[in-house]
Structure 1
Amino acid sequence: MEKFSFPDSSTGKIDFNDSSFFQPSTGSSPVLPSPATVRQEWHKLGRHTRAIQFEDLGLVVKFGDPQSVRLEEAQAMKAIHQAFPNKEVPVPELFGWRVDQGQNFIYMSLVEGSTLREIWQLLTQDEKVSLRDQLGRIVAALRQLRQDPKHQYIGSVSRGSVQDLYFYGEDEAGPFPSVRAFNDWVQSTALRLPISQRPPDPYRAFLPDSCDICFTHGDLNLGNIMVSGDPGARRIAAIIDWEQAGWYPEFWEYCKALIAEPYWHEWRDAGWSDTFMKTYPDEWVAFSEYWTWKRP
């Protein structure tokens, strides 16, 4: 991933002219809808969503304030698209972005299909197994990405602060120079106490300070897995919502995947999520405790 160049997030307007949106077969010169047009559509929809679809353009625009819609998400999608040109990790195609009136607008391809959550009850057991196996291959491909061993860090894809929801509302966190520094911050933000006032914490020892750093989606859940195809031929069309993505310790993807769904759901209760990625039971114990402390 270090060999890829990332678009400068300080640029307020950028079009990716090599994307399919700007390669029409009609010979016309397509233009992305303006932020004003996106806001108009948002008002028409009753302000119930921050992802506005333009079906005739094959386009989705995700917009909002910089805390909720970060350009690091666009950078992550662009990086994954470059790293996997054969779509081993399927992501929406990035067309461009805009910064307007204090809001970010990310323009990406519209993915046809339904979320795994929407169709879960309609799936046969064989279809669930097939989708589980597909997801396993996607996660395995993502795990193949590695940083330059001489320049390792934990943070966003462009060497910025960590984007994970776990740290939402905290002062900007990271980038961290090591797994140990990251784990210490995970513990610190959960306890919310100065070091001198912290009670004994049996969980910190469950977070290993020496482990691989992996590129991580950070929010693998039923709502972020898009599925297309007819019954009997279901396939994962895309993994969406890369807003929390970046470089994290190898156990982070598993822990976040568990916390994303209720414990009684088949995703967790029947061990479904344990079958498409490596499990980290000790790390999960610590993470789940810290998550609970942070969100009483």
Structure 2
Amino acid sequence: MFTSPSSLDLPTGPRQIFEKSTFFLRNPRAQLPTPAQVRAECKAQGGNYGSARPLPVRFPHLGLIVKFGFVVSITEGQCLLWLKQLGVVRVPEVYGWTTDRVGYNLEVFLYLELIPAVSLKDRWRWLSRSNKEHIARELRVIMDKVHSIPPEPGEVYIGSIGKQPVQEDIFASYTEAKPGPFTSLSSFHEYLLCYFRQPPQWVDPDRHLLPDDVPIQFTHSDLHMGNILVSPPLPWSKESLWMAWQEWSRNRWSLIWVWRALWWGTWRRMECGEPRVVAILDWQQSGWLPSYWEYCKAMWTADFQPRSWGNKYLPMILDKNDVFCVWGDIAAAAGI
């Protein structure tokens, strides 16, 4: 039986440190890096600090990664806490979060578990057809479980965890509040079309293509290869050496993290060699959305992945639908 977010009494404050998390059990004397230390390390790692989406900062010796920026939200931390409780999918453990103001911008810092694994994107070129099909079948089972998570008791809405607004990047205005939550599919669709396509007084000719009778389901909303962690390759294989070389060309901290992941895989032999799904990352945009949304968003981002991912393997993971054409027009208007 699933536990609703409201029954967990999720923390909401601007600063939360979870002293009973495994971070403090492993490192009793350690402290989480301050925002200033995270920013300094981001610059040292070449993490494009100053952009809207700086690269997460890794602290391999602490088993820690910090996701931060003014488009990062506490909502994602709450969602990860809840998903960790449910156990339907492995996600990074949350060690805490804090906020810090820089000029007019409020940056959120999420302190997360650095899972010793590698992205599916990094392993894809080395995988055989049977490996890829195996991963697709694993993802199908995982995503079916995610999509079966019901909304809070007595409440059917479109929005993020805890009846909060929709966090989807399609509404990626950094100056306006996120929309919602919406109480019906029809109100969500009307807003969607008016926001991107037509003035409110016009009737959009594509309105009938957005169905108001589909289920509302919990959605990751950013399922691409970079957000899927898989088990690392065997150390000293051609694949692992190539990955190490690629990371060395980026920065030394990434190289340390990759080798830590590879040796972790050797120690836990069931996690190395034959690839398997280890975790799914980046739940920033997740929430309850129309059932067609997951497939449409994944297909949209598939343009930036190897062609076989969208053509062959995504249809094995997610159910196809006929909404993608009009959804793609809306996404193009949004500029995502």
> So what's the TM-score if we normalise by structure 2?
0.79
Aligned-residue Cα RMSD (Å) equals 2.0
In structure 1, how many angstroms separate the alpha carbons of the residues matched to 2:310 and 2:32?
Answer: 41
Q: Once the two structures are superposed, what CA deviation does each residue of 1:167-216 show, in whole Å capped at 9, x if it has no partner? A: 1126531110111111111211221x3233x3651x22122112221111
In structure 2, how many angstroms separate the alpha carbons of the residues matched to 1:16 and 1:133?
Answer: 35
**1:35: Cα distance to partner?**
1.4
Q: Once the two structures are superposed, what CA deviation does each residue of 1:109-162 show, in whole Å capped at 9, x if it has no partner? A: 002222111221111111101110111111011022101452111111121110
The match for 1:20 is 22
In structure 2, how many angstroms separate the alpha carbons of the residues matched to 1:136 and 1:4?
Answer: 28
The match for 2:239 is none
1:64 to 59, 63, 69: 69
- The residue type paired with residue 289 of structure 1 is D
Give yes or no for the alignment of 1:283 onto 2:289: no
Give yes or no for the alignment of 1:172 onto 2:178: yes
By percentage of residues, which structure has more helix?
Answer: 2
The match for 2:281 is 240
Give yes or no for the alignment of 1:53 onto 2:58: yes
In structure 2, how many angstroms separate the alpha carbons of the residues matched to 1:292 and 1:6?
Answer: 38
CA contact (8 A) 1:251 1:283 kept: yes
In structure 2, how many angstroms separate the alpha carbons of the residues matched to 1:77 and 1:149?
Answer: 20
Give yes or no for the alignment of 1:260 onto 2:301: yes
The match for 1:98 is 98
In structure 2, how many angstroms separate the alpha carbons of the residues matched to 1:237 and 1:211?
Answer: 31
Give yes or no for the alignment of 1:207 onto 2:210: yes
CA contact (8 A) 2:5 2:82 kept: no
2:313 to 263, 272, 296: 272
- The residue type paired with residue 89 of structure 1 is V
**1:295: Cα distance to partner?**
2.9
The match for 2:35 is 35
CA contact (8 A) 1:204 1:286 kept: no
1:108 to 109, 112, 115: 112
**1:287: Cα distance to partner?**
0.7
- SS at structure 2 position matched to 1:261: helix
The match for 1:292 is 332
CA contact (8 A) 1:50 1:64 kept: no
CA distance change for structure 1 residues 262 and 77 in 2, over 3 Å: closer, same or farther?
A: same
- The residue type paired with residue 103 of structure 1 is E
- Aligned residue pairs total 283
In structure 2, how many angstroms separate the alpha carbons of the residues matched to 1:80 and 1:182?
Answer: 25
- SS at structure 1 position matched to 2:302: coil
In structure 2, how many angstroms separate the alpha carbons of the residues matched to 1:6 and 1:272?
Answer: 38
1:189 to 195, 198, 208: 195
> So what's the TM-score if we normalise by structure 1?
0.89
In structure 1, how many angstroms separate the alpha carbons of the residues matched to 2:323 and 2:9?
Answer: 32
- SS at structure 2 position matched to 1:99: strand
Range with greater deviation from structure 2 (109-118 or 51-60): 109-118
In structure 2, how many angstroms separate the alpha carbons of the residues matched to 1:149 and 1:12?
Answer: 27
In structure 1, how many angstroms separate the alpha carbons of the residues matched to 2:204 and 2:152?
Answer: 36
| Structure 1 unaligned regions, length at least 5 | none
